[in-house]
Structure 1
Amino acid sequence: MNYKVLYVDPPWSFNSKKTGGSMKSGAAQKYDVMDVESMKQWDIPAICQDDCLLVMWYVGAMPKEAIELAEAWGFRVVNMNGFVWDKETKHGKDFFGMGSITRASTESALVAVRGKTGNIIKDRSVRSRIRAKVGEHSEKPQAFREAIEKLCGDVPRLEMFARKQTPGWEVFGNQVEGSIEIPFKRQLELGVVA
C-alpha cells in the first residue's frame, strides 16, 4: 500500500544511554534506538503516494538530524513546529522534563511534504498546539493522530515506530503486531525485496 500520511516517532540515538534522575529513563533503556544514517536507509518513497504528508517527532537538541532524515526520505520540511505537544503531568501541572540548556515542557513534530500540499490538506482549521498529559516513556497522545486525521481526511495512513495498533492506521515497528515491512535502499539496489 502507498500512504498519504506518515506519522513517525523515530527511535533517536543519543550519546548517553542513561539520563535522568533514576539513570534508567533514557530511550535506550526503554526500546531499541537507531542512528540517523541507519534510518536514512529505508526506502520511504517506495511506500508513499506522490503527494504525501510527513509528521515526525524530533528531539529539540537534534533539529538538523531531523531535517536531514526528512530530506533523505524525499520530503521537504515546511514547518519545524507543525505540531507542538504542551505536556501536562497526570495531576494537570506543567511537565518538567529533561532538556538541553532549558528544561523541556513541550515536544515538537516537524511537518514535511512531498508533492503538492493542496492535494494533501483537507481541513485548514487544525491548530498546531495540543495540551495533553504525558503517558509512558515517549508515548504520544491520541489527540495528535486525531488532528492528523482531521487535517488530511480518511486516507491511507502509516504510523512508524508504533507501539500499539490504532484503528484506521497501518503500523511499522518492532513493538507492535501487524507491522508492515519497509525495504532498505540497498535491498532494492541488489534486487532483493523484503
Structure 2
Amino acid sequence: MAVVHRLAAGWLVDHLAFINQCGYEIWDSSACPAAATSPGACCAASALGATSLSRDGLEPGPAAGREAGGERARRRFVFREEFFDIAQPHIAAATGEQLRQGCSDLSPTGGKANSSREELSQGAQSGKRKRQQELNQGELEALQYHSKVRKLIWEGTLGLVQEGLRSGFLQPSAAGLGHKRKTLPGHIGCGLAELCDMAKWLPAVDEGHQPAVQVLGEESSLPEQAQLSCLTENSSSSARIVVVMGQKYLVPPRSSFLLSDVSCLQPLLSCKRRFDVIVMDPPWENKSLKRSKRYSSLAPWQIKQLPVPALAAPSCLVLTWVTNRQRHLRFVRDQLYPHWALQPLAEWHWVKITRAGEFVLPLDSLHKKPYEVLVLGRARGDPKEASREAEAVPAIPDQKLIVSVPCSLHSHKPPLAGVLAEFVKPDVQCLEMFARSLQPGWTSWGNEVLKFQHMDYFTPLGDD
C-alpha cells in the first residue's frame, strides 16, 4: 500500500509503490483481442483507494506472460526505482540534528540559525558578491513560521521514521550506498508545454463536431489539435499508450486528462464534471525559477482567475501546494480561498527524508527546508449538505505530516489518495490541476500533464 505507517502525527508514504500500484499493464491484443475490455483484466483502482499490490506492481497471475492458445498475454511496467534512490541527504545535517539519533535540543531561532546564515555566505563563489549576513524580510518571516512548526515536524517525523526503521521499510544501511546513475534521453519531457503554447495559433475547433471526451484505444496516436481541444479518457481497466508528437506515454486505467495551459481550460468545463476533491500545485513566482526558465510561472492574480468555483462540487475539498515563501502562504489563506468561497481548514506538511530515515536537508537550514506546505480548504456549500458531509466522514485535522522519500525528478509531489481516503466518501470525483502525472480514478490537467508518464521513466517488469 502507498501508506506504509499511520500515526497520530501523520503518514509515512511510499510514493514509488503508489505509482506501481496504478496497474500499468498493457494487454497484448495480438494474443487476445478482447483482453483490453474484458472484465477483471486489471485490478480496478478507485480514486482514493489502492489495490493490494506489491512494491514492484501487480502480483503476477497465472495468465501473465502467456502468448499462445488464445490466452491473455500482458506486458507490465514499473516506474524506474533509481528516481527514488535518495540514500544520502543533499546537505549533511549536524550530528545532533540527525533523526536516527532520536532527539534535537537545538533552538529553532538560536545557534543553528546563525550557522545557516554562515552557510549562505560561504556558498558564494569567487568573482561573485558575497551575500550580506542580515536576513531580509522574507527570510525573517520564514524563520518565524519555522519556529512555530519545528517541534511538530521534528517529533512527528521522528515517530514515523522509527516505525519505518522497525518495519524495515527504511534501511539505516542505505546511508552508505552511492546513488545509482540516472540517465535519460535528451528528448524526455520536452515539447508538451511548447505544444500547448503553439495550440493558441491553431485554427479553432468546431465545438459542435468535437466530442467533450475522447476515449483511448489500445494504442492511440491522436492528432495534436484533438488532444488539446477535449478531455482524453482511458475508461478501460488496463493501461493504454498514447502517442504525442512521436513520443509514447503510459496512461493508467480509469483516468482522464486534458493537455493544455491556463488559456485553454474550456474543454475541462465543457465535460460538465463537478469535482469533490481538487489538488493543485501552482507554478508560483520566484527568482530562481525566473533565472532558470524551466517553466512559466503564474502571478497571484492569474491563479485567482482559475475557474475553481465552476469545477468544484458542493463541499469540495481543495488542497493547494505552497512553497515556503510566507507571502504565498498568506495569499492562499487570506485572499485566494476567500475569493473562491473556500473555508481554510488546515495546513499539512510534506517532509522529505532519505531511504535511511534522515531529512534530505538540515531542518534548520535558512536556504531550503526539507518540507513543503499543503493548505486545505472546503467550499462553503449548503449548510444542510455540509452537516451531512460532516456526519459521513471525519473532520479534516490540522497540522498533519506526510513523510516520504521524494522523487529526484523536479516537482513530482507525493500521492494524496491514500491519506485522503478516510476524510472523503468513496467514489468521489477527483481533479489534479497543474499535474505532471496521472492517477487511476482521477482527472488531471496541465500543460505538462503527461510528463512523468513518458515510457522512458518506466521499465518492463523483469527487465534488468
TM-score (norm 1): 0.73
Alignment map for 1:1-194 (pairs within 5 Å): 1-17=273-289, 28-29=293-294, 31-61=295-325, 62-67=328-333, 68-79=335-346, 81=347, 83-96=348-361, 101=366, 103-114=368-379, 115=381, 116=386, 119=389, 122-123=393-394, 128-135=400-407, 136-142=409-415, 144-153=416-425, 154-177=427-450
Q: How far did residue 134 of structure 1 move?
A: 1.2
Q: How far did residue 4 of structure 1 move?
A: 0.9
- Amino acid in the other structure paired with 2:414: P
Preserved CA contact (<8 Å) 1:157 1:168: yes
Q: How far did residue 74 of structure 1 move?
A: 2.2
Q: Which has the higher strand share?
A: 1
| Structure 1 residues 118 and 85: CA distance shift in structure 2, 3 A | farther
- Amino acid in the other structure paired with 2:442: W
Structure with bigger gyration radius:
2
Q: How far did residue 92 of structure 1 move?
A: 3.6
Match of residue 192 from structure 1: none
- Amino acid in the other structure paired with 1:128: K
The superposition leaves residues 64-97 of structure 1 with CA deviations (integer Å, 9 ceiling, x where unpaired) of 1222222222212122x2x211111355421217
SS in 1 for 2:321: strand
Match of residue 185 from structure 1: none
Preserved CA contact (<8 Å) 1:6 1:158: yes
Preserved CA contact (<8 Å) 1:4 1:48: yes
d(CA) in 2 for partners of 1:74 and 1:32? 27
Q: Which has the higher helix share?
A: 2
Percent sequence identity over matched residues? 26
RMSD: 2.8
d(CA) in 1 for partners of 2:286 and 2:414? 23
| Structure 1 residues 125 and 7: CA distance shift in structure 2, 3 A | closer
SS in 1 for 2:287: coil
